[in-house]
Amino acid sequence: MRLNLFSLATLLPTVFISSVSSKVFFKEDFTSDDSLKAWVKSEAKENIGAIELSSGDWYADKENSRGLKLAQDAHFYDYSAPLITPMSLKDNDLVLQFVVKYQQDIDCGGAYIKLLPPTADPKKFNGDSEYSIMFGPDVCGADSKIHAIINYNNTNNEMIKKPLARKDQLSHQYTLWIKKDKTYEIRVDNSILRNGTLADDWSMLPPKEIHDPKEVKPADWDDRKTIPDEKDVKPENYDDIPKKIVDPAASKPAEWDDDMDGDWEAPLIDNPEYKGEWKQKEIENPDYKGVWTAKLIPNPDYSEEGLLEQEIGFIGIDIWTVKSGTIFDNIILTNDFEEASEFGNKTWAAFVQTEIDVKDKLDKEEQEKREKEAAKAKAEAEAEAERKKGEDDKDAKVDDKDLELEDDLKPESNVESEKKEESAEKEESSEEEKSAEKEESSEEQSEEKEESSEEEESSESTEEEVSSDKEESSSASDGKDEL
């Protein structure tokens, strides 16, 4: 154990706490401004993605919803933080619980946590580093699963059948509870998604029972399902029926020359009377006793020795993500389920409904904005079409003027009177055009004003700018349906 200020500070309370049965080995809700200080960035790879404190683009409560955010697209993340005090898995329940918010609308990225031995070197932590447990969601395209990997006998063992992860954009709480009797529960959002025994749901242990190798099949055990029917006898002369016979319909062709072609022989055909080799019928065996197996006995080689007896010293995040934005929050590692349950209720469950409401409101606002933009684009297109039409009318008038010039050739008296009439007409029409244009432009202006003031309102209500690429976000109810 390295003796730094951190461990010195925790040594004293540890002594007291260890006398009671329940213990918290790691607890972080990221509400403190310096809560990222404990997380050491690995130097095993260059260009490890940056992490930051963030509540995301929406949240139930700015301070409480703050978590550890993976902040860069297409990066590896290798970070670890020390436990308050090392935890032994031997004869201990293990409860690892944390919240993941895939706020970016995840396409491909994990959000799991690894439990590392006290001997781990945070600076060298990487994907090949030894760990005891790896737990949490992993989504890539249509593939969504919850990993629950247990290291046993130096092998990482996945669950035989992995449960589904949530891939919507809301905060979900993942809980792995491995009890000291080697049974487990996986909970998502406080409901049990899976439970059972480590022996059944991982294939790391030998079978608990085997068929007794000493037992032998009794001599009188009849395991023939059917037997030959003794009443069925082969008909007499059955074997004399030939397979092929001479085709009775064939006749020697007229042009057949025995001297030249040799003796004519009729071709052979399948004999319709031929039924193949004779086989005695089979009937059900009245003495059938079923398939014999030796009875099950406890497997003398069964052993759970060494299973989950490791020590844990660090919490590790070792993942790759394409789109950044994943937020980890409310991480707790304890041997007391009640402790984790209470922490989860205080930090996650209390905010669930508010977060759903906030997200719903945001989705609705974005929907309305999109609709308004579409309506505006349509109105503009219509106005443009109207303007074009107006211009076309003007062009038509210019054509009229050209005609006027031709009219100059007409006798003067006529021209004078016509000109007067026309100029009166022109004045009228230009007045009309001008006032129409004015109306249009003032309408446009007021429209723009309305919109900009609405934009201000909506950005105020969500406090942070919401980027427009979240249009395809799945709604809260999507996530629920996945259960």
Query: Buried (b) or exposed (e) across 375-390, using 16+ Cβ within 10 A?
Result: eeeeeeeeeeeeeeee
CB of 155 to ligand NAG, least distance (A): 7
Phi, psi of 202 (to 5 degrees): -125, 150
Given 330, 341, 347, 473, the residue binding ligand NAG (CB under 6 A): 341
Side chain identity at 221, as an amino acid letter?
W
- Binding track over 257-296 against ligand NAG, x by CB under 6 A: ----------------------------------------
Out of 13, 127, 196, 228, which residue is the one contacting ligand NAG (CB under 6 A)? 196
User: What does each C-alpha distance from 44 to 69, 76, 111, 318 come to in angstroms?
Assistant: 21, 11, 20, 11
In 3-state terms, what secondary structure has residue 435? helix
Torsion of CA 29, 32, 38, 43, to 10 degrees: 90
Determine, following the binding rule CB under 6 A, whether residue 310 of this chain makes contact with ligand NAG. no
Structure tokens at 204: 């790391």
Q: Of 162-170, 212-220, 341-349, 464-472, which segment contacts ligand NAG by CB under 6 A?
A: 341-349
Decide: is 144 part of the binding site for ligand NAG (CB under 6 A).
no
257 vs 305, beta carbon nearer ligand NAG: 305
Q: What is the dihedral of CA 303, 304, 306, 312, to 10 degrees?
A: 180
**For ligand NAG, what does the binding mask look like between residues 342 and 381, x meaning CB under 6 A?**
x--x---x--------------------------------
Of residues 313 and 344, the one with the C-beta less far from ligand NAG = 344
**If binding is defined by CB under 6 A, does position 458 make contact with ligand NAG?**
no
**Minimal distance, residue 177 CB to ligand NAG, in Å:** 10
Smaller CB distance to ligand NAG: residue 29 or 57? 29
Q: Which two tokens stand for residue 356?
A: 């759903």
Query: Smallest distance, Å, CB 312 to ligand NAG?
Result: 21
What letter represents residue 273's amino acid? E
Distance set, CA 264 to CA 29, 243, 250, 253 (Å)? 102, 21, 11, 9
Q: How far is the CB of 345 from ligand NAG (least distance, A)?
A: 4
Choose among 173, 168, 97, 100: nearest CA to 133. 97
Q: Give the residue, chosen from 63, 212, 287, 338, that forms a contact with ligand NAG under the rule CB under 6 A.
A: 338
Stretch that binds ligand NAG, among 336-344, 384-392, 436-444, 459-467 (CB under 6 A): 336-344
Kindly tell me which residue out of 21, 22, 32, 195 binds ligand NAG, with binding defined by CB under 6 A. 195
- Beta strand 108-110 with 94-102: parallel, antiparallel or unpaired? unpaired
Binding interface with ligand NAG (CB under 6 A): 153, 183, 190, 195-197, 303, 338, 341-342, 345, 349
